[in-house]
C-alpha cells in the first residue's frame, strides 16, 4: 500500500499589518479572529508590526490592547479568508479606535 503526500496543501498564513497612529505606546496587543488568537506585544507610536494568522474560514479582525492605563477592545472589522490571498491592515487611530482594511492580493 502506497502513501501519497501532497505538498502545499496546508493553508498559507495571512499577513496582518498593525499600525499605531496614536501618540503613545500601546502594550499587551492581541489580534483575534475565528480560529486564531495571536499575541503581538508592544507597538511604539508611529510604528508598524506584522503578524501571520491562520483564520478558520471567513474572518474579521479584533484588536485588544492597553493604552494610557485603559484596556481597549475593538469591534470585529474587515473581511478576509485563510490561504494567504488577502492583505490585511489594522490602524489604531489617535483616539484608539481601530479601522481594518482588507484587499485581495
Element (H, E) at 19: strand 14-20
Mean local confidence (pLDDT), 3-22: 74
**More confident call, 2 vs 73:** 73
User: Is 42 in contact with 48 (CB distance < 8 Å)?
Assistant: no
Domains in the chain: boundaries:
14-104
Assess whether pLDDT exceeds 60 at residue 4.
no
Residue 11 has what pLDDT?
59
Dig out the grid coordinates for 37 from the structure. Answer: 488568537
Among candidate residues 11, 28, 21, the one with its CA nearest the CA of residue 80: 11
Phi/psi at 44 (5° precision) = -65, 160
Assess whether pLDDT exceeds 90 at residue 31.
yes
pTM value > 0.95: no
Per-residue pLDDT tens over the stretch 36-91: 999 999 999 999 999 999 999 999 999 999 999 999 999 999 999 988 899 999 99
The matching CATH number, chosen from 2.60.15.10, 2.40.50.140, 2.160.10.10, 2.60.40.2890, for 14-104 is 2.60.40.2890
Assess whether pLDDT exceeds 60 at residue 1.
no
Amino acid at each position: 500500500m502506497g502513501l501519497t503526500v501532497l505538498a502545499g496543501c496546508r493553508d498559507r498564513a495571512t499577513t496582518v499589518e498593525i499600525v499605531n497612529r496614536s501618540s503613545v505606546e500601546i502594550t499587551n496587543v492581541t489580534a483575534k479572529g475565528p480560529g486564531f488568537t495571536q499575541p503581538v506585544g508592544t507597538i511604539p507610536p508611529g510604528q508598524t508590526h506584522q503578524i501571520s494568522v491562520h483564520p478558520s474560514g471567513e474572518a474579521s479582525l479584533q484588536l485588544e490592547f492597553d493604552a494610557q492605563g485603559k484596556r481597549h477592545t475593538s469591534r470585529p472589522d474587515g473581511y478576509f479568508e485563510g490561504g494567504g490571498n488577502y492583505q490585511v491592515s489594522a490602524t489604531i487611530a489617535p483616539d484608539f479606535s481601530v479601522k481594518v482594511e482588507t484587499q485581495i492580493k
